[in-house]
Chains A and B, each alone.
Chain A
Amino acid sequence: MRRRGNGLAWLGLGLGLLGVVTYFTWIALRLPPRVQFLRDTALLNLALVGVALGVSVEAIRHARSRAQGWPVLAPILGVLNLAVAVLFILMLYRFAALPAPPNAPQVGQAAPDFTLVDDTGSPLQLAALHGKNVLLVFYRGHW
């Protein structure tokens, strides 16, 4: 029975790692925009990481009830699993954080004009588009 507890502990860590690794497969797969939420919110990954932590807790309880004194392996794997989960959440919400750009034009202000070369090599002036609404999308590009 001791071994089954350890098996659960490994399963917990394995699921936790799977939950994190599959997040990067969403990115590598270049998901179509309709399922972009899988990548943006990482809901499935966070759910899997949550289940994994539950399995780890269960493994520790199981090992604890079978062992004389405190079991070692299950708590160690559980802590590792927790560390993986914490890193993943930090990566999603903390490391991806951007400082606010304080000098960006406010709503109600005039949009600064510019002339830049487009993808066909022709110049495009923002002001020349007046008469239409313009959605200007700044993005990070190839990096």
Chain B
Amino acid sequence: MFELQGLQLRQSEFDRRNTQIVGVVVDTPEQNAEVVRDLGLGYRIVSDPNLTAIDAYGLRYEQAGQPPIAHPASFLIDANGTVRWRDLTDNYRLRPQPETILTAVDDLRAQ
């Protein structure tokens, strides 16, 4: 959640770089609508309760007694649909900072 808020603060900078943010989570569209409203997000969150995208990206995370969720991860995908940068955190407390991602977008655009 904190991560989504952090990205929201820099959204205009992503917009200027022709980059659209999309969140993916196991939660329902209703829960996501609440998050979008509460955090005032200007980007969309998609609902993946059956882990369709989460499995396609190899990110299923399971813990005994808990429903499966996504391993937190970010992918920067270019206009042709190729992954150009990714962050697979090895500690769930730590997510990439927006500055780091914006730098990756700039690198991609410079090529």
Contact = CB atoms under 8 A, between A and B. Distances in A.
A120 B33 contact: yes
A140 B67 CA distance: 11
A28 interface: no
A105 B74 contact: no
A96 B22 CA distance: 25
B52 interface: yes
Contact of A142 (B27, B78, B93): B27
Contact of B59 (A32, A34, A104, A111): A104
Nearest to B52: A114
A127 B79 CA distance: 9
A69 interface: no
A140 B83 contact: no
A125 to B, nearest CB: 10
Nearest to B86: A107
29 contacts: A33-B5, A36-B6, A39-B2, A98-B72, A100-B90, A105-B83, A108-B84, A111-B82, A114-B56, A116-B46, A118-B32, A119-B29, A119-B44, A119-B46, A119-B47, A120-B44, A133-B19, A134-B19, A134-B20, A135-B20, A135-B22, A136-B74, A137-B7, A137-B23, A140-B61, A140-B69, A141-B25, A142-B27, A142-B31
Interface of B: 1-7, 9, 14, 17-27, 29, 31-33, 35-36, 44-48, 52-54, 56-59, 61, 66, 69-86, 88-95, 101, 105, 108
